[in-house]
Structure 1
Amino acid sequence: MSLLEFYEMFSTNRPDVTIPSLHRVPHAGHFNVFKRSGYCTANPSPYNRRDFYKISLIIGKGVLHYPDQRIEIDGTAMIFNNTTVPYSWETTSEFQSGYFCLFTENFMRQRTEPLKETILARIQESPVFFIDAQQEQFISAIFEKMIAELASDYAYKADMMRNYINLLVHEALKTRPALPELKSTNAASRITSLFFDLLEKQFPIFSSDTVLQLRTANDFAGKLSIHVNHLNHAVKETTGKTTSEHIANRIANEAIALLKHTEWNIAEIGYSLGFEYPANFNTFFKRHTQVAPKAIREHRGENQLRQAM
């Protein structure tokens, strides 16, 4: 879903919302913030990837659908959605309140650092943060400040919005157990960032005729013109996971999304992900997800049948 598609859908339920001019987005980026009340509907949002980031303060009941997760929310939580993972939100209670803000990657990259090296990168694998009443009050105040500043004519309000976004992320991270600090040198961080950039540029896959080109640590090392041992050391030092683990996890997540949301057969999906033989894809998928691709496809069919009934 593009920004324009979002605003077209959003303004249908909120006639007071004007679709903004988006011609400057490629250069300056985009940011906006809204209250959730009056916008949420009983119909689930479309299940797809967005080309923008979204941070929501959810007050009410609902279900967040992810490729391999179904997360129920009953009360108050923060949700962080990024551009790489498809999702859908389904409200399950009449009462819905809270706020959300959305922004593009280049809005956050005004300070020239890659987004994957910012604080936002730390919350991409954990989209939901449950918060208490005191945090709800504090976070609501941040969103209210966003709304007030966005309406002002302050020349540096974009910088303030970036600071508010970082405050929201830090407040969410405080709800999780402390993690060991990442040990990384500037060189290791730079190499790791280049690796992730190459990895993510391959996704999403839009055609079954497209074949994944970079599938192994050696493939990425060759593309980056460095020795594979150097790449493996940098990625492991920076993230705590091996290069191969990151590649496999990303391929597995893409496979789940394709099984759930395309009509391609399993052989076509495996081929597009670089597996020449279906048996090899089945073995890989079962090793990383504990289920067979056929089980994901059959479960999707059961869900569609229930919805039709």
Structure 2
Amino acid sequence: MKDRNIAPVSEFGAELRNQGFKVFEIKPGENVVRTYNRKDFYKICLVTGHSLVQYADRGIEIDAKTLFFGNPHIPYSWEIISEQYTGYTCLFSESFLKVNERSESLQESPLFKIGGTPIFTLSEEQRDFIASIFKKMIAEDATGYMFKHDLMRNYINLLIHEALKMQPAENFFKHKNAAERTASLFFDLLERQFPIESIDQPMQFKTAQEFANRLSVHVNHLNRSVKEITGKPTSAHIAERIIMEAKALLIHTDWTIAEIGYALGFEYPAYFNNYFKRLTGTVPSSVRMQPA
């Protein structure tokens, strides 16, 4: 297995700040999928080759033509194994893609939300079509066309919709009643607490009652709504999300276990250790010792 140096995102920092997007080709010998950074941009990557991806708390091995969607709110790292590894990458901010405040947040998309499907294995035909879009983007980026940014948004949306067409229909969520609306508001508030970016800004809501108070609904109504829609109690979803973030922080930061526990709302390290062990069957230190 051969490690490669990972070029920093700051390489394109000024251009990203000025334009809100950047598109480029991944050439053989380069690793420009890059390690996760909390301040990074959304990414769409088309890659061909063998690699290992640590996505949130999951390890995924890739050895095919692949389309990847990276969310700056979900930690990931990428190790290239193949000697020949090629493709394309597009970086963009949500503010670049959203033309008005009424546009749906990217975090609501099945491609970018927690628990979504960020990685797609492509056929040769699909790979060639996706590659043709990236080539058009690169060519257009080099022009002085007055409405270039509008065209880039269209290309990015085309990439997103091509991937959405690969998604099973049951992955799409529609609000049909009050219970679905309440559950949606709960999950939105839950996700807004993550990622934890600072030890000095710990998560605020850890119990169903605290979420109900914030949403101005009775806790029984919240619990009934979430259970009706998902089949699991509110507390189970909160616990799963806390554990997911805990594992991500253990893997992707150098914070102490006590600091991670405090950031997740546990006043004392022993409380965090007991909570983590009760839900996972292991202690936080064992996760930290696992190879990334």
Match of residue 307 from structure 1: none
1:240-251 pair list within 5 angstroms: 243-251=234-242
Structure 1 distance, partners of 2:33, 2:142, is: 30
Structure 2 distance, partners of 1:237, 1:22, is: 43
Same amino acid, percent of matched pairs = 51
What is the CA-CA distance between 1:124 and the residue it aligns to? 5.7
> Structure 1, unaligned stretches of length 5 or more?
12-18, 304-309
CA contact (8 A) 1:76 1:132 kept: yes
The one-character-per-residue Cα deviations of 1:168-210 (angstroms, maximum 9, x if unpaired) are 2333344454426523049777766654554344333344454
The code of the aligned residue for 1:160 comes to L
TM-score (norm 2): 0.78
Match of residue 5 from structure 2: none
What do you get for the CA RMSD once the two structures are aligned?
A: 3.4
Residue among 22, 29, 32 paired with 1:32: 22
Residue among 219, 224, 227 paired with 1:228: 219
Residue among 2, 8, 15 paired with 1:20: 15
1:53 aligns with 2:42: yes
What is the CA-CA distance between 1:136 and the residue it aligns to? 0.6
CA contact (8 A) 1:58 1:97 kept: yes
1:1-309 pair list within 5 angstroms: 6-8=9-11, 19-20=14-15, 22-23=17-18, 30-37=20-27, 40-41=30-31, 45-111=34-100, 112-115=102-105, 116-118=107-109, 120-121=111-112, 125-179=116-170, 181-185=172-176, 195-232=186-223, 243-300=234-291
What is the CA-CA distance between 1:104 and the residue it aligns to? 0.8
What is the CA-CA distance between 1:156 and the residue it aligns to? 4.1
Deviates more, 1:102-111 or 1:131-140: 102-111
1:22 partner SS: helix
2:206 partner SS: coil
Structure 1 distance, partners of 2:138, 2:113, is: 25
The one-character-per-residue Cα deviations of 1:276-302 (angstroms, maximum 9, x if unpaired) are 3444433432454443212112325xx
The code of the aligned residue for 1:105 comes to E
Structure 2 distance, partners of 1:131, 1:156, is: 31
1:134 partner SS: helix
2:209 partner SS: helix
What is the CA-CA distance between 1:6 and the residue it aligns to? 1.1
CA contact (8 A) 2:75 2:252 kept: no
TM-score (norm 1): 0.75
Match of residue 14 from structure 1: none
1:294 partner SS: helix
The one-character-per-residue Cα deviations of 1:57-114 (angstroms, maximum 9, x if unpaired) are 0112221122322222112111111011111121112212111111111122224223
Tell me how many residue pairs correspond in the alignment: 283
CA contact (8 A) 1:40 1:91 kept: no
CA contact (8 A) 2:110 2:116 kept: no
CA contact (8 A) 2:54 2:60 kept: yes
Question: Are the structure 2 counterparts of residues 118 and 266 from structure 1 closer, same or farther at C-alpha, using a change threshold of 3 Å?
Answer: closer
1:80 partner SS: strand
